[in-house]
């Protein structure tokens, strides 16, 4: 797992419904070994993280570099990350929690390590909030030209259709 993927997953974590354990399990469907460890407490802690991390994405979206860095540094003080070297799938790589930590601690560690690394690698303005009018999902932009504006293909095409209709209306009423 590389850190950019941790960062991308953090956007998925912020956009996810975490109302109960089933919802958390749905988010983690591609990591079956975590499913049996999910608890109500993890959901509660991760909902709090969603609230705490959103301002960092909003600061990045408006180009406030200092607020992004301060926000992440502050969150890493509140949630100390314990990296761990693991070789379970052959290659040595870094996990973002010790073996005894909870699912919430693991996902929090992955999000913070991933975002901190992304900010240092690609700069502090690579996080964003979807530009589609009815969507407030967040995204991480790892595209080479930093041109991403929407959380998903779906929102991108919805916005294109809306813009097309607006142009047609403008022509019709001219």
Extract the tokens encoding 108.
């929090």
CB of 16 to Zn ion, least distance (A): 14
**Of 132 and 141, which has the nearer Cβ to Zn ion?**
132
CB of 109 to Zn ion, least distance (A): 13
**Of 43 and 112, which has the nearer Cβ to Zn ion?**
112
**Of 18 and 155, which has the nearer Cβ to Zn ion?**
155
CB of 159 to Zn ion, least distance (A): 8
Beta bridge partners of 129: 138
CB of 160 to Zn ion, least distance (A): 13
Q: Are 150 and 137 in contact (CB under 8 A)?
A: no
Q: Angle CA(93)–CA(57)–CA(111) in degrees, nearest 5? A: 20
Which residue ranges make up the site for Zn ion (CB under 5 A)?
86, 130, 132, 135, 137, 151, 155
**Of 45 and 139, which has the nearer Cβ to Zn ion?**
139
């Amino acid at each position: 797992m590389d850190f950019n993927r941790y960062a991308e997953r953090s956007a998925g974590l912020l956009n996810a419904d975490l109302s109960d354990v089933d919802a958390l399990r749905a988010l983690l469907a591609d990591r079956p070994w975590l499913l049996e460890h999910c608890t109500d407490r993890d959901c509660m802690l991760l909902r709090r993280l969603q609230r705490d991390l959103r301002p960092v994405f909003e600061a990045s979206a408006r180009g406030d570099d200092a607020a992004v860095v301060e926000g992440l540094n502050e969150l890493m003080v509140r949630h100390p990350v314990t990296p761990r070297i693991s070789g379970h799938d052959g290659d040595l790589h870094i996990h973002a929690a010790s073996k005894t930590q909870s699912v919430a601690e693991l996902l929090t560690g992955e999000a913070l390590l991933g975002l901190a690394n992304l900010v240092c690698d690609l700069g502090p303005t690579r996080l964003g909030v979807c530009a589609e009018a009815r969507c407030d999902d967040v995204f991480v932009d790892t595209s080479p030209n930093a041109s991403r504006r929407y959380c998903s293909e779906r929102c991108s095409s919805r916005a294109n259709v809306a813009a097309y209709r607006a142009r047609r209306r403008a022509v019709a009423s001219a």
